[in-house]
């Protein structure tokens, strides 16, 4: 039977590695050497102006399955930014944190934006601040939902 650990005995000496698992050559939290850190996103005003109408058109095809209004008209899109290399960053929210389609809507938005000709990469970020309110809805959305 083994003896209890003493204060001087390091815990790592008591761990028995599995035979079929190679020991890591670098810490698990470190990125692979081939992966360079990505540069921070820097908004390009001209590309943003150029691509925003097409991105909005693509987002108008994305609906919350429970609401018959697209996510752009609902006011779920907070920011659309495009950088000099035509990478897109969209900040959006959902009507509620417990939205049953919380996973599907941002993925559908990303997929639709990727269909826009001339764009490279797309990142859709879901944020909760500021919280969404009905005041963010367009008049067309309010009319469609009988709120006007």
pLDDT, tens digit (0-9, with 9 covering 90-100), for 35-70: 555 678 899 999 999 999 999 999 999 998 889 999
Q: What is the pLDDT of residue 7?
A: 54
State pLDDT tens for residues 65-87: 889 999 999 999 999 999 999 99
State pLDDT tens for residues 10-26: 555 554 444 444 444 44
- Beta strand 122-126 with 88-92 is parallel
The chain-wide mean pLDDT, for the chain, equals: 83
Cα 10 to Cα 13: distance, rounded to the nearest angstrom: 6
Given a cut of 70, is residue 100 above it in pLDDT?
yes
* Backbone Cα Rg of the chain: 24
- Asked if residue 88 lies in contact with residue 109, where contact means CB atoms within 8 angstroms, the answer is no
Domains defined for the chain, CATH in brackets: 45-141 (3.30.300.130)
- Asked if residue 77 lies in contact with residue 90, where contact means CB atoms within 8 angstroms, the answer is yes
């Amino acid at each position: 039977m083994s003896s209890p650990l003493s204060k001087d005995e390091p815990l790592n000496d008591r761990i028995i590695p599995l035979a079929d698992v190679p020991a890591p050559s670098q810490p698990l939290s470190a990125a692979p050497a081939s992966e360079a850190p990505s540069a921070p996103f820097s908004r390009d005003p001209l590309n943003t102006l150029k691509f925003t109408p097409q991105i909005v058109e693509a987002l108008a095809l994305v609906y919350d399955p429970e609401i018959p209004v697209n996510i752009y008209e609902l006011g779920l899109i907070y920011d659309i930014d495009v950088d000099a290399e035509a990478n897109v960053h969209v900040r959006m929210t959902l009507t509620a944190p417990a939205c049953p389609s919380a996973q599907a809507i941002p993925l559908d938005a990303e997929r639709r934006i990727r269909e826009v000709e001339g764009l490279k990469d797309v990142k859709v970020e879901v944020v909760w601040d500021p919280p969404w309110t009905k005041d963010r809805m367009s008049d067309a959305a309010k009319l469609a939902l009988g709120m006007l």
